[in-house]
Structure formats: structure tokens, C-alpha cells
Amino acid sequence: MKKRERIKTVFLYGVFICYIILLIKILLLSRVSLLDLFHSQRASIRSINLIPFHSIMGYLSGSSDTIRRFAFGNVVGNIVIFIPLGIYLPLFKKDKKLLVNLFLIFTVSLLVEIIQGLLGIGVSDIDDIILNCLGGVIGILVYKFLLFILRDENKVYATITILSAIIGIPVILYLLFMVKMRF
């Protein structure tokens, strides 16, 4: 492997690792600090929704502007946060099949919801899994679209490297260090 290719690979894996840290921070540590997570006197309230689209329908029928703003942020946030995973998975894996990558995205989302339920962090919601998978599919389709347009996997790799540098790193750094969330 040439030095330039090695640098691109290390850079992309570095951005991906930062993205995974951001996912953990947002999905698991945004409501409780790491120190408080296992504190014996922490009151944990568990809420689980296993009815598909129940939360989303509740958001749509909400009457106040506050509920609608929260709903929009929750729905869009659950989609957007998994788009990068959908882009990076086919980039890093040899198996580029949609269903295989979608299954991995589903598994990650399901694990997050199980951990949230077991530790009493937020709400475990089937709607979050559905929205996360939708975001993952959008990411996979972005990757496939780039592959269709550029017709060369090396060009796609280079394009995603450039986009990660221009968009990914500033967004990740902003969310990791500037947005006030517990960590």
C-alpha cells in the first residue's frame, strides 16, 4: 500500500472512530454522565415502546409547538445520526450488499435500544430503530449513488475522504466539544 493510500485509510478510520465516540455520547451519555451511569443511588426510569410508529404518531398529533419541535428534532436526529454509518459500512467492508449492511445497522441500533432499556437511559423505542435504519439506508444509497456516478471504488473512497475532512471532522468536533452534553 502506498504512503498516500495509507494516510487516507488511517484518516478515514480515525474519522469513523470519532463518529462512533459521538454516537456513544449522543445515544448513551447525553442524559447521564459516565460517572453517574453505574452509581448505586441513581434512579433509573425505564420506558419501552414496542408498538411501531406509536411515538411518531404521538409527535404528529401533539398540539403544542414545543412537542412538535422536540418531535422534529427526535425524528430527524434519529435518521441523520445513522447516515454516516450507512456510508462508512460499505466503504470499509468487502460485502457491499444492501441487506447485509442494513442488518448491521439494525443490530447496532437494537443494541443501543437494549442498553438504554437495561440501564434506564432515556426511552427504548422501536420507532428509534426504524428511524435509525432509515438513516442507514439513506447512507448506503449515498454510497451507491457515488459509486454509480464515479464508477470507481477508489474515486468513491477519495471523495468520501474529502467530504469527511470538509464536513465530517468539523461537525464531529463541534458536537463532541461545543454542544453541552454530559460526558
Q: What is the pLDDT of residues 26-38, one digit of tens each?
A: 888 777 766 666 6
Q: Check residue 57 and give its pLDDT.
A: 81
Number of domains in the chain: 1
The reply to whether 92 falls in a domain is yes
Domain of 21, in residue numbers: 3-38+46-178
CA atoms 176, 8, 108, 34: torsion sign: negative
The reply to whether 147 falls in a domain is yes
Q: Check residue 34 and give its pLDDT.
A: 65
Q: Check residue 147 and give its pLDDT.
A: 95
The reply to whether 183 falls in a domain is no
**What is the average per-residue pLDDT within 102-122?**
91
When comparing pLDDT for 131 and 96, which is higher?
131
Q: Check residue 180 and give its pLDDT.
A: 59
Q: Check residue 48 and give its pLDDT.
A: 83
Q: Does 49 have pLDDT greater than 60?
A: yes
Q: Does 155 have pLDDT greater than 80?
A: yes
Q: Does 181 have pLDDT greater than 60?
A: no
When comparing pLDDT for 83 and 71, which is higher?
83
The reply to whether 22 falls in a domain is yes
Q: Check residue 2 and give its pLDDT.
A: 87
What's the CA gap between 101 and 90, in Å, rounded? 7
The reply to whether 139 falls in a domain is yes
Minimal CA–CA distance to 43: which of 124, 113, 123, 120?
Answer: 120
**What is the average per-residue pLDDT within 39-46?**
60
CA atoms in the 13 A half-sphere facing the CB of 5 = 4
Q: Check residue 36 and give its pLDDT.
A: 67
68-81 burial: b if 16+ Cβ within 10 Å, else e: eeebeebbeebbeb
